[in-house]
Each structure stands twice: as structure tokens, then as C-alpha cells.
Structure 1
Amino acid sequence: MSRDVEVLTDLLVVGGGLGGVSAALTAARLGRRVVLTEETDWLGGQLTAQAVPSDEHPWIETEHISAGYRDLRNRIRDYYRRNYPLRPEAAANPTLNPGLGNVSRLCHEPRVGVAVIDELLMPYISAGRIRVLYENVPVAAETDGDRITSVTLESRRTGVRTTVSARLVADATELGDLLELAGVEHVVGAESQDETGERYAAPVADPTDQQAITWCFPLEYRPGEDHVIDRPASYDHWKTHVDPFWPGPQLSWEKIDIHTMSGRVNHIFEGDTDAVRLPDLWHFRRIRARSQFDPALVDSDISLVNWPNTDYWEAPLVGADVDAQAREHALRRCKELSLSYLYWMQTEAPRHDDGHGYPGLRLRPDLTGTEDGLAKHVYVRESRRIKARFTVLEQHVSVTDRPAGAGSEVFRDAVGVGHYNIDLHPSTAGINYVNLECYPFQIPLGALVPVRVRNLLPANKNIGTTHITNGCYRLHPVEWSIGEAVGALAAFCLDRDTEPHAVADSTSLTGELQGLLTTTLGIPVAWPDEIRRTRPSQAGKGATPVLAPPLPRVPTA
């Protein structure tokens, strides 16, 4: 009979997304023992279990990214070269993009990300430096004053409970679960303008104002075949219901264009499905382009559905009034929306050739490792966030809120860099998109240090940002860099028998940590000045278009 167990380690990382993986990997590289937990049976979070191809920035192929993230991307390309029947010209391309998707220079299948992450961790797992607890969720946390002494995890498969004691604990969960369990001061939803002074903050703080979630899924298209799924139970609701801020029912080709903040029509196909980079939905997050593979084996594209009309904004996932039953109801409704959108596309959607329905659209459950064909985990854009020693504001990064030509704020305690626009999807409070152009920015150490708890570090979307700036610190490469900073900080503190607050309080210790990051680990903590001051809309190929002003940040319901 199975029994509960106790484990002692240097660093406990709860959550196996990109931030959790990079935190564990960095600490292990620096000689520390790590327990890494994950609620599914896949590591990689948004890149894998959530099935979201990387959202990246114009400088992602340059030397100005961390060596660790560059290694991850190179290994993904090498995995395709070693294992897939690529055409010679594709295999020889140093910047191979398997899917030729418009969203990223590296669109790939989720399973490839899983395989590569497993490869990265394997030497440290073999050496006993990293222990991975799959399908485990945190259920309790013990504290002593301002310290977390242990975290108890429960196996979803066996029910066995593992209590882990560690000198330092990283919360890399998708929703900031440890913050709640351990009583760590945190923020949920939107702060008010009076609190942050941000132009696009809510007029009044609103914990229910949380970004939409999405249940993603991969599709291939086989004309002439019939792969229509069963009609979802809530199909009629999604077909007829219209939210006040949306141009029509979600089961349509209509959406909000974030660049003009007006309604527009965007079809799944615009003619030949093998054409390169057409402005349609199919090519947006395409993860396999058949034109790059041997046609004797690969006869179809695969596209990943994470499109505006599959965003679920009906109810939040966290908050004082959200219990487990309410969260499960929201997750079920989110799944039903995604399946309803698929059923609508298969049966009723207006076609690019004037017909209706694409019954040849086929789910690929083998690519997600699930029975229903949807991703293993819902795509989460917003989490509980720590109340930090320092909070990144819109005024630090937004082009419209910085002095002309000044670039982003320079943080003297920076422990990483990143870039993305402030990209807020419609929210559970009835707020439409907010999309603001940002300068390339830094990750300040102060945003990783809680105001009170001494040995808890955030390693996902739960750092010291606001509801607004979470929108640019939540994407793949930034999450990876946050995790690297956390793993390095943990090892640094353990080596010197100190704690994160002391490092943040000391200019000399902060400088030593930055030296460890830059010299030993190859992690940049600052952009070259010419990049920091560059608007991405002026950075050339692959840059972000100039954005129209967002709609007023007030509920429309």
C-alpha cells in the first residue's frame, strides 16, 4: 500500500512550465539539488501542455537572448533535423521554422518541446540533482513566521502525498497557487489608477478583471473526408450569445482587430492552404507546413487553434469568490467553447469558396497526448501576482508613457531582459483588448522579492507586475528568463548562506548575482542602448505593427 513520503531538498520548484523548468535547470547547473513538480505529465507549460507556439520578439535570433533559451530553440530545430523527413533546403536552413507560422520564427509541435525539455533535464535527473514529480499538485503549505517550511503535494494518479522541505521555494504554478496556500501577500485582477498611476489601469480596483483563458487544439485539414465531432452541449449558446464588447457571436469569423480596435473578418483559409504566410487564421499558428517535409510521408499541414474567438472570458479562475467548483465549471465551459468553435467550423462556417463547413478539419489528439484532442492544460494568461518590493508599471515600459526617445526604464538591479507588447485579451470583467507598444525591457530583481515572505520566489506570471504590465511579462522567452533569474538567485543565496531580501538590499551582492548571470550563465541583464530605445514597429522585419489607441478601459456591459 502506498504511503505518504517526506523529502528534503535545496530548492523546491512547484510548477513545470517554462519558468519552472528554467529555474530548476539553472539551479542544478550551479550545483544545487532541486525537486520540480508538474500537475500534468508533460513539462513545458505554455509551450507544450498548453500547446501555444512561442510568442517572441524581433531580436530573438540575435545574441541578445540568454544562452539557455537559445539552446532550447536550437535543440528544437536539431530535433526536427534528426528525426523528421525534412526537405534538404529546410534541413539546411539555420533558422528552420517547421510550421512557417506567422506568429513566431519557430512554430513547432508540442511533443517536440516536451522531448527537448526532457533532453535538457536528463543529465541532472540522472545525477540526482533534479527530481521531477509529475501529476502532482500543491495542497498545503506550512509556514513559520515569514518563511515557508514545507509544501505538501498530492499525486493526481495515486493520491500519495509528498511533503517537501526546502530552504527556498519557487512558485512556478500557472495560477500562483502557493501564494494562496502559504498566505503570501498577492494581487488578483486589476489594480486601480489611484494605486498605480497607469493610464490604462482600471478606474476602480477589480479582482474579477482577469484575462481570458483559452483551451487550444491542433488541427489538420483533409478535404473530402468527414471528421465532424459530436455537437457540444452548449453549442447553441455560443452560436447565439453576443457580448457587448464583441462584434458578434464567438462562433463566427468576426473578431476585434487589435491594431485598429474595430471589428474585422478573418477566415480560416484564404485560398491555397499551402501558400506561405497568408493573413488568415490557418497560417497564424501553423505548427507544421507540409511544404518543408517529404511529401511521401507528410501530406498535410497542422495548425494550432489559439484564435480570438476561442478566448473564454465568462468567469475568472481565481479570487476570493472562486471556489474549486466554480473553477471547474469555468474550465468545462472553456473546453465547450473550443469544441463548439471546431464543430461550427466543420459544419456551418462560411467557406472561402462560398460553401459552408469544413468537415475535413481533423483533431490530432496524438499531438496533445489527450483523448479529446484539446491541450492537456488550459492556456493561462494571468495569475495571482506577489506584492513585491518593486512593481513594474506601464510607465516603465510603454512607448506612449515614456519620454520621447528615452526607451524603457533602466533597472540597476536587472536580472534578465525581455520584450513583448502589453497584450491584454478581453477580460472576465467585460473589458476589451488593451494592446500597447513597449520598448525592450528588463526584469528587475525587486519584482522577484515578496514584501514579507523571505524564502518564496515567483517563477512564472506571478512576479511583481500589474494587471497591465503582466501583459508583456507573460510570454515564453520572458517566463524562461524569469525562471533562470530565480534559479540563479536561489543557488547564489544557498552558496552564501543568505536570502533574496539581503541580496536585493545590497548593491555589492546584486552586482555579484548579475556577474553570475552574465559571465557564468550567459544571461544578459541589459539591452544595448540602441535596442532599448528602439520601437519594435521601427525594428524591421518581424517587428510589431504600429498600434492604434486601445478602447477606453471601462466595462461595456
Structure 2
Amino acid sequence: MKNKNVQKADFVVLGGGLGGCMAALAAAKSGLRVIMTEETDWIGGQLTSQAIPPDEHRWIEKFGCTRTYQEFRNRVRAYYKMNYPLTDEAFQNEVLNPGNGWVSRLCHEPKVALRVIEDMLAPYTSSGRITILYQYRVVDAVTDGDLVTCVKVRQHHSYKEVTLQGTFFADATECGDLLPLAGIEHVMGAESKEQTGEPHAAEVADPLDMQSITHVFAVDYVEGGNFTIDKPKQYDYWRQYVPQNYENLPLLGWLVPEISKNGTIKEYALFKGKLGQWWESLFNYRRIIDKSLFKNQLFLSDISLINWPQNDYHLGAIYGVSEHERSKHLEGARQLSLSLLYWLQTEAPRLDGGKGYPGLRLRKDVLGTEDGFAKHPYIRESRRIKALYTITEHDVSKEIRGQQGIRKYDDSVGVGHYYLDLHMTTASHRSLYIPSYPYEIPLGALLPIRVKNVLPACKNIGTTQIANGCYRLHPTEWNIGESVGYIVSYAFKNQIQPHDIRQDSKHMQAFQRMIQEQGIQIHWPDDIELP
């Protein structure tokens, strides 16, 4: 890999999403020099460039996440209170939810998340301890036995290539892009029941049977306005499309099968539903601005991020396929979202008997783009390392574990909780929503079976496709990345490899003490009231 443009660091983090940012931050706090790449011009991944408000658990305001994640949430609320003219009631609310969206206790603008994350990294980017290379994607890797020695990254618009050398590397890319380039053993898509023994695994393994992606967009609503977009080129296709296993219902419609209740159909509406129940409004689902919380009619309308079942794109994979296939499906996801918007503006049934909401307006400013669409599609599933320990449905399913309760690991490096939530997959079109217990993050799931100096720091840890359904969410990815940053710093300072931490009980105990001192919770309270 001959390249005059070479940069060196103790730790090279590929991917600037939540996991990547926290891996970089933890390592930099520990004194390491870090280079981090990011595909877009916004760091923060799910919260920013992919425009997904945080999916969290019921205990999030008190425990069940890292100290830095709590700090992030506090900083978001403080940002609104410092900079926005909130009503007195909103200002006094310790658990302010700027959008009052019902998906999360903290629905907020992606640009605010970006500012907060940049502020958290600022001491280390300003001092040069963290260098961020924007709009770069990994394109090659060089290995020496069980070690990666360097990677090559390429900038999108300039095609400039940079070789990055490091002692340790983290793959925090959204799709696990480093894994195949470096020959790191990994899996993709769906495992079979025969392989994993999981009751909800696919009947037949299929590496291209992955969870759907979603191209999120931002809208507000101006009553009486007309902001109808041009008819999308694939609209006629999507208008007639009926997904397999979808109860013969069109994808673009208000009737949606409930994943958790076989044969049950849920009816939604754009705004308040027929029964006057707030949760029936899909507009409120991921609403990031509730105009009633702000003084002086600051916002003329609420603002919402559109990530619904109706724009989950499930017709094909965007990695593990040719570049042509990748481009086709990325454009397909965008066309589906455009078609959903056009349907909403022109044909969606209204509760008053009319059709269409032409007052829906794309908010280009909200996501920092020219078209009002997120800078990057929301990716729910990545390539996943073959790890020393693979987390399966048996580790987290409430039904399977029963009276055993929470699965505890001696090598835990964090905690999380979410349903086993599998969005419609690209081949079998399976969907799942399985009750789960709170879970821990075992170090063994972060260690590749062979390669020694590369760690996963995103949705690419050692889980099955089913278990990934809960380990992929914001607080867990954050925790994974932060723990990886400390794993690397501990290994660097002790002149060992990450695998040695788990193999030596003294190192394991010392490392766990260290991360607990840094505010990483490694076990759930014994007296927690389980769902």
C-alpha cells in the first residue's frame, strides 16, 4: 500500500457514529492519540447524520447507561434551556423532552446532538489528540498475520487517499466495512435455527437477508400551505406495492400489521387518531419540536422526523453486494421515502374524509441537506464479527430465560435494554418484536476469534441477527464504543493485547474497576423490577 500521505496514531477509529465517537473520546481521555474517520460531514451517526432520536429504556433517567451518555442527555436539555425561549413550565421541567415524541424521553433536533457531541470531543480535537477526517471511507487494509498494520481511506469528493497506521484499530463503520477488507472472520444477515438454536432464527441461513434500512426526512406542517413535491419516479411502483407477509395491505397506508401480535392490524393517522389517543399520531412518533414548549410562537409548526414502517426499505442489501446493487438499493430507499411523502401530501386519507396533506413541508435546514433528507440512511444491521462469545436470543429473551432473569457475565463491560426488535428483512421478510430482559455486554462479544488489534465499536459485535435487534440501539452502541476505547487504552498502557484482558482474571478485574470508575455500569441492580 504505497502512499506518501500517511498519518499515524495510537488508535485508528473507522467511523464517526456514536460508537466511534465514544471510542475516540475514551481513548483520548486516557492519553492516546486518535484518528477518527467519518463518511459524512456530521459525526454522531444515529443521532445526527441518520436522524434517529434515541431509542431508550424505562430506567434511562436514573441508570442503565454510561456516565457520559447521561452527560450527553443532560447537555441536550441544558442546550435548549440556555439557547431557546422555553415556556416557564418547559424550562422548569427536569426531564424536558423538546419534541414530546413518544418514541423517546428525549426527542431533539439532530443539529443539537451534533453540537453537544462536538462539544464533548472539543478539548481533544482542539488539542490535536483526536483528528477527524470527514467524508472518508475505508477502502483497503494491510495485515501481518493476526494484526492489521494500516488501512487506506478515500475521501468522497476529492478521491484523496490517506494511509492510516496505528497500534490498534476499531471498526465503527455502519456496515462493518473493515471486516472483509482485513479478512476478519464475520457473518452477515440471517443465521439458521440449526446454526444458533434460536427459536426465532430463520429456517435457512441467508447472508443477504438483512434488516431493512430507512432514509429519514424532516417535515413540518403548515395548515393551508401547498408544498407538494414533484411525483417521484418510482411512485407508481410503491403506491401499488404490497409486502410479503403484510396481510395483503399496501405499504403506503395507515393500516400496519403489529409485529408482536400475529394477525392484529394497527390503524394510524398522521395527526390525532379517531379515538383521540395521542399515540395514534404518527407525526408525533418522532416529533423533535413541540411548538407549544416555546415562547413567542418561535416555531410556526411542530417538526417531525419520518421513520415509520411505511418507509422501511427491504428489497435488497446495501453491503455484501456489487456496487451497482448497493447504489440501486440506496436509491430505492430514497425513492420509497419520497413516495411516502408524496402519498402523504396527495393521497393519504384524512380523518375529515378528505385526501392528502399538501401543507407537509420538507425542512431542509433541520438535517443540514439540500433536500431535507438525512445525510445517511439509518442502518439497523451490520456485518458482525465472529467473536469469542456470541450473544444469542437465549441470552436476552424474557420467554427463554424465564425465572433465570438477567443473564450476567463475569466479563461484562456494560449494560443495556431494548426489545428484540427485528425490522422486516430483505429476503424472508421476517419481522420480530420479542420481550427481553435487561442485558449486559460481555467482553467476549467484542473480541474477534483471531485478529488481535481490531475491535468492533458499533453494531458489529458478536451477536446473532436476532440479538442484534436489541444491541443495536443508541445507548448500547454508545456503551460499546466507550468500552472499546478503554479496552484499547488499558491494553496500550499495559503492553498487552485486548484478548489478554479477558484471559487473565487479574487484568479483567482491574479493567472492570477502571471502567466503573469512569462511570460505566457493568451489572444491573439486583433489586431491579423486571418488565
TM-score, normalised by the number of residues in structure 1 = 0.93
Match of 1:324 in 2: 323
The residue correspondences of 1:410-429 to structure 2 (distance < 5 A) are 410-429=408-427
Asked if 1:301 is matched to 2:302, the reply is yes
Secondary structure of 1:405's counterpart equals helix
Match of 1:553 in 2: none
- Compute the displacement of 1:277 (Å): 4.0
Distance 1:302 1:276 in 2: 19
Distance 1:198 1:260 in 2: 20
Does the CA contact (< 8 Å) of 2:218 and 2:373 recur in 1? yes
Asked if 1:535 is matched to 2:525, the reply is no
Percent identity at matched positions?
A: 49
1:435 to 419, 433, 436: 433
Distance 1:25 1:427 in 2: 34
Distance 1:255 1:296 in 2: 35
Secondary structure of 1:494's counterpart equals helix
- Compute the displacement of 1:65 (Å): 2.3
- Compute the displacement of 1:117 (Å): 0.7
The residue correspondences of 1:75-474 to structure 2 (distance < 5 A) are 75-247=75-247, 248-261=249-262, 262-270=264-272, 277-319=278-320, 322-402=321-401, 404-474=402-472
Q: Which moved more, 1:151-160 or 1:69-78?
A: 151-160
Which digits, 9 at most, give the CA deviation of each residue in 1:71-129, with x for residues without a partner? 11111111111111211211121111000010100000111011111111111111111
Secondary structure of 1:478's counterpart equals helix
Runs (4+) of structure 1 exceeding 3 A deviation are: 275-278
- What is the aligned residue count? 526
One-letter amino acid of the structure 2 residue matched with residue 481 of structure 1: N
Distance 2:23 2:244 in 1: 42
- Compute the displacement of 1:14 (Å): 0.4
Which digits, 9 at most, give the CA deviation of each residue in 1:236-281, with x for residues without a partner? 0001121221232212112121332332221111269xx9944220
Does the CA contact (< 8 Å) of 1:216 and 1:375 recur in 2? yes
Distance 2:94 2:348 in 1: 39
RMSD, matched Cα:
1.4
Secondary structure of 2:224's counterpart equals coil
Secondary structure of 1:218's counterpart equals strand
Secondary structure of 1:143's counterpart equals strand
One-letter amino acid of the structure 2 residue matched with residue 535 of structure 1: L
Asked if 1:525 is matched to 2:522, the reply is yes
1:498 to 489, 496, 513: 496
- Compute the displacement of 1:159 (Å): 1.8
Does the CA contact (< 8 Å) of 2:64 and 2:416 recur in 1? no
Which digits, 9 at most, give the CA deviation of each residue in 1:26-74, with x for residues without a partner? 1111111110110000010011100000000011000342111001111
- Compute the displacement of 1:329 (Å): 0.5
- Compute the displacement of 1:294 (Å): 1.2
Secondary structure of 1:511's counterpart equals helix
Distance 1:144 1:65 in 2: 37
Asked if 1:6 is matched to 2:3, the reply is no
2:510 to 512, 515, 526: 512
Distance 1:63 1:336 in 2: 40
- Compute the displacement of 1:139 (Å): 0.8
TM-score, normalised by the number of residues in structure 2 = 0.97
Secondary structure of 1:282's counterpart equals coil
Does the CA contact (< 8 Å) of 2:392 and 2:464 recur in 1? yes
Secondary structure of 1:472's counterpart equals helix
Secondary structure of 1:99's counterpart equals coil
Does the CA contact (< 8 Å) of 2:260 and 2:434 recur in 1? no
Q: Alpha carbons of 1:373 and 1:4: their partners in 2 closer, same or farther (altered >3 Å)?
A: farther
Does the CA contact (< 8 Å) of 1:4 and 1:160 recur in 2? no
Does the CA contact (< 8 Å) of 1:108 and 1:288 recur in 2? yes
Distance 1:48 1:100 in 2: 18
Match of 2:481 in 1: 483
Does the CA contact (< 8 Å) of 2:22 and 2:485 recur in 1? yes
Distance 1:298 1:361 in 2: 15
- Compute the displacement of 1:4 (Å): 5.2
Distance 1:408 1:317 in 2: 35
Structure 2 unaligned segments of length 5 or more: list them. none
Q: Which moved more, 1:241-250 or 1:303-312?
A: 241-250
